[in-house]
Amino acid sequence: MKRNRIFSIVALAFILSASASGIYKARAQEKKTYIADKIIAVVGDQMILFSDVVMAEAYYKYDNRIPENDNLSEEERTQILEQMLMMKLLATEARIDSLDVSQVNINSQIDDRQAMLVEQYGSVEKVEKIRSKPMFMVREDMKKQIEEQVLAEQMRGQVVGKVTITPAETKRLVKKLKDDEVPLIPIQYSYSQIVKKAPSNDDTKLAIKERLLDMRARVLKGDNFSALARMYSDDQGSATRGGDMGYQSPKALVAEFSDAMVSLKPCQISNVVETEYGQHIIELIDKKNNKYRCRHILLREKFSLIQLDKAIKQLDSLRDVIINKDNTFKDIAREYSDDADSKNNHGRVLNDEKEMYLGLRSKTDKFYVDELKTDYSHLYNLKVGEMSTAYQTYDERGNLICKLIRLDNIYPEHKANINDDYTIIVDIVINKRKEEVLNTWLEQKIKELYIRIEEPYRSYKFKNQWAK
C-alpha cells in the first residue's frame, strides 16, 4: 500500500510541540537511548537540529502507521526535511515583515496543550518527569513552536491568500490537470428522513433533575465531582476524564451550557442546566484568556420500550400514508419530523461535516459510506425512491431517536469532474495555483536568504533549490 505523503505545516508544528516530543522522548527514555544533537540546517538565523528531524520522522511513522523499526525511503525523508525548511523560511520572513502573533491566542493554545499532556500522563509531575524539565520550561518549548507555526501560516496566507480563479479559468486549468491529480470520488448517497423522538415524560425529567441535585449536594459536602462523573455521566467522551472538558471557548458550546459556565467562579458548581443534550451540572475549574475549563455530569432521559414503540408505530403509520400516496414524503417530513434541520428542508439531510471540511460555498446532500454511520445499514439495500422501515438510532448529540429514511440518489464511484464535483475541482485547481505562487515566492526567498544544509542532507533531491 502506498504511504500517505501528506505532511502539512500544521502537522509538522504539532510534532515539534510538547505533545509529540513527550511521546517520543518518553519512548527514548524507556529504551535508555540518547541522541547526540547537532545542527543539520540553518535558515536565516533559525536552526534545524538532528533531534528535530528524528522527532519529525518518528511522528510521520506514527501518523502513517509505519512500524517504528522500519526505515523511511529517501523520498519520504526528503519531503519531511523540506517541509521543515519551508516552515523555518516562512516564519523567518514573517518576522522580517513584522507580522504579529496574538499572545492571547498563543497562551490559550499553550493551556490547551498543557491540559492535553496532563490528561495523557496523569499529572503535572509525570509530565515533568517524562520531559526531564519543569513545567514552565515545557510551556516555553510549546510557546516557541506555536509561535513559529502561527507565523508560518500567517506568512503563507499573505503570499497565497489573494489567489482566485474565474469559472473560465477553472475550465481551462481542469483540462491541464494530470490524471493522478484528479481524485477518485467514492460512491456517495443522498437521502431524506423523518425523525420521531420518544415522547418525553415529565416525571422522568424531574427524577433526573433530582438525581443531579443530589450529586451536587454530595460534592458540596465533600464528595469528588470527577469520581461521580466517571460513574454516572452519560457523556462518554468526558466521563473517562472525570467530566473534564478541557479549555473551551463559550462560543463553541450551546448557549444554555455556556451561559451557566461563564457565570461560575472557580470551584463553584452550577444548578441543573437543561440543553438539547440532556441535563447537566457544571463545575468551573479554571479560566484563562477568555477560555474556560470545566467538568460536567450529563444525564439523559432513558426511554421505556413502550415509549420507543409508540414512536416506531407512529413512523410506521406515516410510512403507510406515503406508500398509499395519500401524502408525499416531503410534506410528511415537514409536518411531523422532530429534526428541525431536515424538517425545514422537506426531510432532505444535508452533510454539514463535509461542508466544514471542504469549505463548500453551498451545503451538499452527498454522503460517503463512512459518513452515513448507522444509517448506512438501513440504506445500502434500498433502490432509489424506496423507504426503510422505522428503526432506532442516535442523533449527533447522542440522543436516542427513531427514524424512517428514503434513498434519494446514488452517485457511483467516478473520477472527479467539473459537472458533478465542481467544488472539489475548484479546490484542486485553486490549491494547485496557490502551490505555484508559493513555489515562485520560495524560489526568490531561497536566493535572498542565508541557508546552509549539512551533508548527507545537502544531497537530498529537494523540489526547491535549498542546497545552494
For the cut 70, the answer to whether the pLDDT of residue 27 exceeds it is: no
User: Per residue in 270-324, pLDDT tens?
Assistant: 999 999 899 999 999 998 878 899 999 999 988 888 888 999 999 999 999 999 9
User: Per residue in 360-395, pLDDT tens?
Assistant: 445 789 999 999 989 999 999 999 999 999 999 988
For the cut 50, the answer to whether the pLDDT of residue 2 exceeds it is: no
Q: Are 296 and 282 in contact (CB under 8 A)?
A: yes
pLDDT of residue 395: 87
Q: Are 77 and 57 in contact (CB under 8 A)?
A: yes
CA angle 314, 315, 321 (to 5 degrees): 95
pLDDT band at 10 (very low <50, low <70, confident <90, very high): very low
For the cut 70, the answer to whether the pLDDT of residue 359 exceeds it is: no
Q: What are phi and psi of 160, to 5 degrees?
A: -110, 0
The residue whose grid cell reads 513559529 is: 148
Q: What is the mean pLDDT of residues 182-210?
A: 92
pLDDT of residue 110: 82
Average confidence score pLDDT of the chain: 85
pLDDT of residue 1: 40
pLDDT of residue 194: 97
pLDDT of residue 362: 55
User: Per residue in 154-177, pLDDT tens?
Assistant: 999 999 988 888 888 888 888 888
pLDDT of residue 103: 61
pLDDT of residue 147: 86
pLDDT of residue 102: 65
Which residues face 189 on adjacent strands?
A: 367, 410
Please name which of 89, 90, 35, 153 lies closest in space to residue 453, comparing C-alpha atoms. 89
User: Per residue in 407-433, pLDDT tens?
Assistant: 999 999 999 888 888 888 888 889 889
pLDDT of residue 354: 56
The residue whose grid cell reads 524539565 is: 133
Identify the burial level of 46 via C-beta atoms within 10 angstroms of its C-beta, where 0-12 means exposed, 13-18 middle and 19 or more buried: middle
Q: What is the mean pLDDT of residues 230-259?
A: 92
User: Per residue in 210-242, pLDDT tens?
Assistant: 999 999 999 999 999 999 999 999 998 899 889
For the cut 80, the answer to whether the pLDDT of residue 345 exceeds it is: yes
Cell representation of residue 104: 492571547
Please name which of 163, 106, 177 lies closest in space to residue 430, comparing C-alpha atoms. 163
User: Per residue in 50-78, pLDDT tens?
Assistant: 877 877 787 688 778 888 788 899 999 99
For the cut 70, the answer to whether the pLDDT of residue 19 exceeds it is: no
Domains of the chain: 9-164+433-459 (1.10.4030.10), 185-199+303-415 (3.10.50.40), 202-299 (3.10.50.40)
pLDDT of residue 149: 85
pLDDT of residue 143: 85
Q: Are 241 and 119 in contact (CB under 8 A)?
A: yes
Q: What is the mean pLDDT of residues 31-44?
A: 70
For the cut 50, the answer to whether the pLDDT of residue 85 exceeds it is: yes
Give the burial string for 223-248 (b: 16+ CB within 10 Å, else e): eebbebbbeebbbeebbebbbbbbbb
pLDDT band at 120 (very low <50, low <70, confident <90, very high): low
**When comparing pLDDT for 137 and 224, which is higher?**
224
